[in-house]
Amino acid sequence: MENLRIHDLRRTLGSWQAATGATTAIIGKSLGHKSQQATRVYERLNIDPVRDSLERATKAMFNNQY
């Protein structure tokens, strides 16, 4: 791991926060960013939260639950 940098760890943290549902505001606060624009660089949205959201929404639509 000789090429590992602190920046790599920050990016990983931001990516994991995004993948587990943290908001841009929370991620930005964790990373000490002043703007959401800077935070979006660290977000690498995992497809699982998107898929989970779609499944919950369609299930609620068909079951008349929300």
In terms of pTM, does the model score above 0.85?
A: no
CA angle 45/19/47 to nearest 5° reads 50
pLDDT the model gives residue 32: 94
What is the amino acid identity at position 4?
A: L
Q: Which domain holds residue 47?
A: 2-64
**CB-count exposure of residue 50 (10 Å: 0-12, 13-18, 19+):** exposed
The total number of structural domains in the chain stands at 1
**CB-count exposure of residue 18 (10 Å: 0-12, 13-18, 19+):** buried
Written as tens digits, the pLDDT of the chain (66 aa) is: 788 888 888 888 888 888 788 888 999 999 999 998 888 776 666 667 778 888 889 999 988 765
